[in-house]
């Protein structure tokens, strides 16, 4: 197995302390948003044999296994991250696989440069994702029941929001949500900025269920995404709890440290809370206007102490081991590639001693025995 040296991405919304504290190092004073573990071309992990991307490219079947290569191609199909949100991320959705393929082909046909800021589809893959909290972790996930949202907006006493309140009390629910989100994103920017300012002040005054949206408005004053965010469920994960984000589900991470895993893709359509391009017509085509429960996941017991986060996605499979005193050794050998990430304590993986924030790549079939006292996350595929 290969010890990984991973890149930390300094996005502006990142926490200045969370990743440093996990690693046990002094903060740099700059935002540290994500640490990437994998073979993504944007920042592949480094090993003694070269970057992980180079290692896999040299012999895909040896590293990934014939079954994974046959199913996903000669590449690691997932990206694992430590994600540390110090401020809200953009409100966003991801396409399903068919939508991604069609959107990518269309933009290629039209000659839209892959690096263009208005490009929606940078690859032909979908981007389901799962985030597991390491600390208290706040996020938005899926549309709240429109009637409850109508009550939340009505309580603000903002006259310019009353048409939205009336729409949200109408039927059918999917049409009401579509019409309100469309109205928010296509409203006059100056008028919407005034509405957001007034709504933010009311949220600050009321607190309670309104408090998360006051904080969002503090980071994004005047942004229409503040009102769009109020259509969504607010959820606070406790450590060990997780959220699965499938295609078309609007979401945003607000604050906290977590382990995130996703299919290898950069396809994001934004709804707000960002200075980046928002393609409203394409967004409305991708969003699934379905009220839903956030669906908080808790790990399910599997053999040999494994705790599994069940999802419908084959590109990744995330589980964890909470190792305790007693000297038990767990054999994690699989016929699929793995990344093992320590998030607490001290874990021995083969010949490697792992402390929080350190990791190894385990090629398919490679012997992988772990022991120690701590928490270890295992990322692999369903091949």
Catalytically active residues, by annotation: 270
The residues facing 2 across adjacent strands are 361
Encoding tokens for residue 96? 């399903």
> Is the Cα torsion angle 304, 306, 307, 308 positive or negative in sign?
negative
Encoding tokens for residue 345? 């304590």
Q: What is the rounded CA–CA span in Å between residue 383 and residue 97?
A: 18
Residue bearing tokens 């928002």: 278
Annotate 335-368 with b (16+ C-beta within 10 A) or e (fewer): ebbbbbbbbbbebbbbebebebbbbbbbbbebeb
Give the residue ranges of DSSP H helices in the chain.
18-23, 52-58, 60-64, 66-72, 97-109, 146-154, 162-168, 173-186, 189-206, 211-219, 225-229, 280-286
Encoding tokens for residue 31? 């935002």
């Amino acid at each position: 197995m290969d010890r990984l040296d991973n890149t930390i991405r300094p996005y502006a919304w990142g926490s200045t302390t969370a990743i440093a504290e996990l690693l046990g190092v002094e903060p740099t004073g700059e935002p540290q948003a994500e640490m990437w573990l994998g073979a993504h071309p944007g920042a592949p992990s480094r090993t003694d044999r070269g970057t992980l991307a180079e290692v896999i490219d040299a012999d895909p079947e040896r590293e990934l296994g014939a079954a994974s290569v046959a199913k996903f191609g000669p590449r690691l199909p997932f990206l694992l991250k430590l994600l540390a949100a110090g401020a809200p991320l953009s409100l966003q959705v991801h396409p399903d696989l068919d939508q991604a393929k069609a959107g990518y082909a269309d933009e290629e046909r039209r000659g839209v440069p892959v690096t263009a800021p208005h490009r929606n589809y940078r690859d032909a893959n979908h981007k389901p994702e799962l985030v597991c909290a390491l600390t208290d972790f706040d996020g938005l996930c899926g549309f709240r029941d429109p009637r409850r949202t109508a009550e939340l907006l009505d309580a603000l006493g903002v006259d310019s929001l009353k048409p939205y309140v009336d729409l949200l009390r109408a039927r059918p629910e999917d049409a009401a949500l579509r019409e309100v989100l469309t109205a928010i994103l296509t409203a006059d920017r100056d008028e919407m900025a005034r509405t957001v300012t007034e709504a933010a002040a009311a949220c600050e005054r009321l607190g309670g269920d309104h408090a998360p949206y006051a904080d969002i408005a503090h980071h994004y004053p005047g942004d229409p995404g503040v009102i769009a965010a109020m259509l969504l469920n607010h959820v606070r994960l406790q450590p060990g709890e997780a959220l699965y984000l499938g295609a078309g589900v609007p979401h945003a991470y607000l604050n906290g440290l977590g382990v995130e895993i996703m299919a290898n893709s950069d396809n994001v359509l934004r709804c707000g809370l960002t200075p980046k391009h928002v393609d409203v017509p394409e967004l409305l085509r991708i969003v699934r206007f379905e009220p839903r429960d956030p669906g908080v996941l808790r790990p399910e017991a599997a053999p040999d102490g494994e705790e599994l986060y069940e999802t419908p996605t084959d590109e990744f499979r995330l589980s964890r081991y909470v190792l305790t005193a007693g000297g038990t050794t767990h054999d994690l050998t699989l016929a699929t590639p793995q990344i093992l990430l320590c998030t607490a304590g001290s874990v021995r993986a083969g010949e490697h001693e792992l402390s929080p924030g350190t990791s190894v790549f385990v090629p398919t079939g490679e012997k992988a025995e772990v022991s120690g006292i701590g928490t270890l996350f295992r990322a692999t595929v369903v091949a």
